[in-house]
């Protein structure tokens, strides 16, 4: 069973001015579609064909670069689109807010930690907020298209918030101003979705 590019739940221009329409269109139709196509090619005819992306990544042979890079790219972008929303974003509250304050001391301190993880990821990669069983949260970053579901990767939890810091995610609008892009990301986080993922995974 091949993977399909997930349907985007909002228009390309819906996140402006934080993320511009042209970047969204290229990122979704070229980059995410490319990862989807290459993932399907990499698993076709193997014992991975028909498994869920989560199952593939948690049991991944990290030397299998085709599945590692493209399976990561498929999963990471699928999460990325869903944790952003132009409207109905909710606000950070409830159990997730409590867990963040318990771990970081305050919401602002969490934002600082997440922003630092994103800003200091050298080259291409992602920043993550993950949850461990029991509800403890953690911030980390990963290179390339790696993510915390994969064996031996930094924060070994379930990702519930992710930020793409590959240059293709922001360069048209922000050029080399990655910190400005990171700051803008906080304006479009869909906290309702992040909280749903937290409740499901903790």
133 falls in which pLDDT band (50, 70, 90)?
A: very high
Cβ contacts of 174 within 8 Å, gap of 6 or more? 180, 181, 184
Q: Given this model, what pLDDT does residue 154 score?
A: 80
CA distance 179 to 170: 10
Could you check whether the bond before residue 191 is cis, i.e. omega within 30 degrees of 0? no
Burial 150-174 (b: 16+ CB within 10 A, else e): beebbbebbbbbbbbbbeebbebbb
Q: What is the pLDDT of residues 148-194, one digit of tens each?
A: 999 999 888 999 999 999 999 999 999 999 999 999 999 999 999 99
Q: Give backbone dihedrals phi and psi of 120, rounded to 5 degrees, phi first.
A: -100, 0
Place of tokens 């969204």: 24
Band of the pLDDT at 44, cuts 50, 70, 90? very high
Q: What is the 3-state secondary structure (H, E, C) of 48-110?
A: CCCCCHHHHHHCCCCCCHHHHHHHHHHHHHHHHHHCECCCCCCCCCHHHHHHHHHHHCCHHHH
Judged against a pLDDT cut of 70, whether residue 102 lies above it is answered with: yes
In whole numbers, what is the pLDDT of the chain averaged over residues? Answer: 96
DSSP 8-state code for residue 132 = -
Q: Model confidence over 17-33: pLDDT tens digits?
A: 999 999 999 999 999 99
Name the strands in the sheet holding 137-143, side by side, starting at the edge strand that comes first in the sequence. Answer: 137-143, 125-131, 158-164
Q: Tell me the whole-structure pTM to 2 decimals.
A: 0.95
Supply the pLDDT for residue 157: 93
Domains annotated for the chain, with CATH where assigned, are: 20-202 (3.55.40.20)
pLDDT of residue 90: 85
pLDDT of residue 35: 98
pLDDT above 70 as % of the chain: 100
């Amino acid at each position: 069973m091949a993977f399909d590019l997930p349907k985007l739940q909002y228009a390309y221009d819906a996140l402006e001015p934080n993320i511009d329409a042209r970047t969204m269109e290229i990122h979704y139709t070229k980059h995410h579609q490319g990862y989807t196509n290459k993932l399907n090619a990499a698993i076709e005819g193997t014992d991975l064909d028909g498994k869920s992306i989560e199952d593939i990544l948690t049991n991944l042979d990290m030397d299998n670069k085709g599945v590692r890079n493209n399976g990561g790219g498929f999963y990471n972008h699928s999460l990325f689109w869903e944790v952003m929303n132009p409207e109905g974003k909710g606000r950070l509250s409830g159990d997730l807010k409590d867990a963040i304050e318990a771990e970081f001391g305050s919401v602002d301190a969490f934002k600082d930690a997440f922003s630092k993880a994103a800003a200091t990821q050298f080259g291409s990669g992602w920043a993550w907020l993950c949850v461990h069983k029991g509800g403890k949260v953690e911030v980390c970053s990963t290179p390339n298209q790696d993510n915390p579901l994969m064996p031996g990767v930094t924060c070994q939890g379930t990702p519930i918030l992710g930020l793409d810091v590959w240059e293709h995610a922001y360069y048209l609008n922000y050029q080399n101003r990655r910190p400005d892009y990171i700051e803008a990301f906080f304006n479009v986080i869909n906290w309702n979705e992040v909280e749903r993922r937290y409740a499901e995974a903790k």
